[in-house]
Amino acid sequence: MYVELSEQQVDRAVGVLLAGAAGDALGAGYEFTHPAADAVIDMIGGGPFDWAPGEWTDDTSMALAIAEVAASGAPIGHDAGLDAIAARFVAWFDSNPPDIGNQTRAVLSTRPAGADAMRTRAQAVRGRKGGNGSLMRTAPVALAYLDDERACRDAAAAISALTHDDVRATEACQLWTHAIRHAVLHGTFDGVRGFLETAPSDAAEFWSPLLDQAETGSPADFSNNGWVVHALQTAWWAISTTDDSDSGHLVRALETAVRAGGDTDTTAAIAGGLLGARWGAGAVPLRWRRMLHGWPGLSAPDLVRLAEASVRGRASARSGPVIEVVVGDITTQRVDVVVNAANSSLLGGGGVDGAIHHAGGPRILAECKKIRSTTLPDGLAVGDAVATTAGNLPATWVVHTVGPVHSRAEDRSVQLRSAYTRSLAIADDLGARSVAFPLISSGSYGWPRQDAVRQAVAAIRGADSSVERVVLVAFDAATADLLLRGLE
């Protein structure tokens, strides 16, 4: 059974995977170092395993092995679902990953067939077994059990035990997964302490003073963050001691986790799962999203898809967005993305373009200028799209697209439809679920309004997009009437 979620809760669920991967990729370039207090923390890549900028490591790869099974709707905590996760772990191992923890390697190198065999192998491994390798991947478990708190804890324990036969690793996974589940549902970090109220007394007595230490101490107090206990403390220290007055907390805390040094990709990935659950996908910077990639050949849009499918219990794409028509000002629309009918210069203009720049303020133009000076020195092509901040608008992003000028001598309808479909594709990259469009090219570019409506509706309905809701914003009642008739 799957709970009905609000848009905010779904956004926070998507944030779990995006922010976890972002923390992982952010920390990858600093692994086994201790960055100076004034060092700039960024997705630089490199590190001991020569990662590409934005490439995630074993932390996210193993988390996605879990997310892929969760997205199928299988019960990941037992039976066939647990066997499927074990199989995905082995498939990842067979890809010859550059970085893999010692405990995990000792288990997966025997390529155990099924969850029972994998768990038996984990139990047979000698020596220390309390590494951070099961905690780093536990975040997706929360998404599969938003409807069942107890099953969530049980699944976290079962999946941890596939590779880590250690009571503290089990408890850490249960605590953190509980906290992520709570944050997705309620938008707070209260689940960290809340776990102690439901945990067995010996577990609560063990973890309570350690959480106190994380909140009041420094990384020197928990410096062995390859150990699951110190890894959790490092992540919670970064979250609990960083300014949390706004959604920028996500970036600030991830940078703080990296500054703690040591196993930086893992502690930042652990922190990222909970930060994303609290602040949502919108708090993950657009530049980071564009860079994210890794095993098994996925990128940020795939993480969005997997997170949404996990919480909804299905992996299939939606049949298409709900399309609404409103009469009004596009700059006031409370959606994830507002589409700007821009010109190729991206430097502002009249009509919708001018209104968006005016209402959104100078940050939009500043990002447009940066894009022109870097990735688009010749301007944005007709039919293409690019995203920036939304500045002061109630939306989160502006997607700028260039519609064609209408011509009697040449059929440019393919370019017009492309302006819509490319905008939706960029919205998918951002993880957006609601998008507001103007009627592109129907103003000064002279496209006949009736045909502009036909092209818009055909493009939106035919797009392969995960966007749930499209708002077509009409300038006047007559245009709204045309749009409504076009949707019939």
| Mean pLDDT, residues 248-253 taken together | 98
| Mean pLDDT, residues 183-191 taken together | 97
Query: Mind giving me the DSSP string for 4-40?
Result: ---HHHHHHHHHHHHHHHHHHHHHHTTTTB---TTPP
**Whole-number Å distance between alpha carbons of 219 and 109:** 33
Residue 212, pLDDT > 70, answer yes
Task: Encode pLDDT of 338-355 as tens digits.
Answer: 999 999 999 989 999 999
Q: CA 203, 209, 211, 213 torsion: positive or negative?
A: negative
- CATH number given to 322-486: 3.40.220.10
Least confident range from 17-26, 352-361, 373-382, 475-484: namely 475-484
Instruction: Please give the pLDDT value at position 317.
Output: 34
Q: Give percent of the chain above pLDDT 70.
A: 98
Where do the domains of the chain lie? Answer: 7-312, 322-486
**Whole-number Å distance between alpha carbons of 402 and 384:** 6
Q: Which residues contact 391 (CB under 8 A, 6 or more apart)?
A: 360, 361, 362, 363, 364, 398
Element (H, E) at 326: strand 322-327
Least confident range from 23-32, 314-323, 370-379: namely 314-323
CB atoms within 10 A of CB 179: 27
Q: Which residues contact 275 (CB under 8 A, 6 or more apart)?
A: 15, 19, 23, 239, 249, 250, 253, 254, 283
Instruction: Please give the pLDDT value at position 314.
Output: 42
| Mean pLDDT, residues 265-275 taken together | 98
Element (H, E) at 299: strand 298-299
Instruction: Please give the pLDDT value at position 315.
Output: 36
Instruction: Please give the pLDDT value at position 46.
Output: 95
Helix axes 58-71, 79-94, angle to 10 degrees: 140
Least confident range from 10-19, 100-109, 303-312: namely 303-312
Instruction: Please give the pLDDT value at position 303.
Output: 93
| Mean pLDDT, residues 33-54 taken together | 94
Least confident range from 236-250, 283-297, 313-327: namely 313-327
Residue with tokens 């990858």: 28
Instruction: Please give the pLDDT value at position 316.
Output: 38
Residue 313, pLDDT > 90, answer no
Total-model pTM:
0.69
> Comparing 37 with 228, which gets the higher pLDDT?
228
> Comparing 419 with 320, which gets the higher pLDDT?
419
Beta bridge partners of 472: 325, 437
Question: Token pair for residue 112?
Answer: 């155990």
Dihedral, CA of residue 258, residue 260, residue 266 and residue 271, to nearest 10: -80
Instruction: Please give the pLDDT value at position 450.
Output: 93
Beta bridge partners of 470: 323, 435
User: Class assignment of domain 7-312?
Assistant: mainly alpha
Task: Encode pLDDT of 17-41 as tens digits.
Answer: 999 999 999 999 999 999 988 889 9
Average pLDDT, the chain: 93
Residue 224, pLDDT > 90, answer yes
Instruction: Please give the pLDDT value at position 320.
Output: 65
Active site residues per annotation:
353
Task: Encode pLDDT of 383-421 as tens digits.
Answer: 999 999 999 999 999 999 999 999 999 989 999 999 999
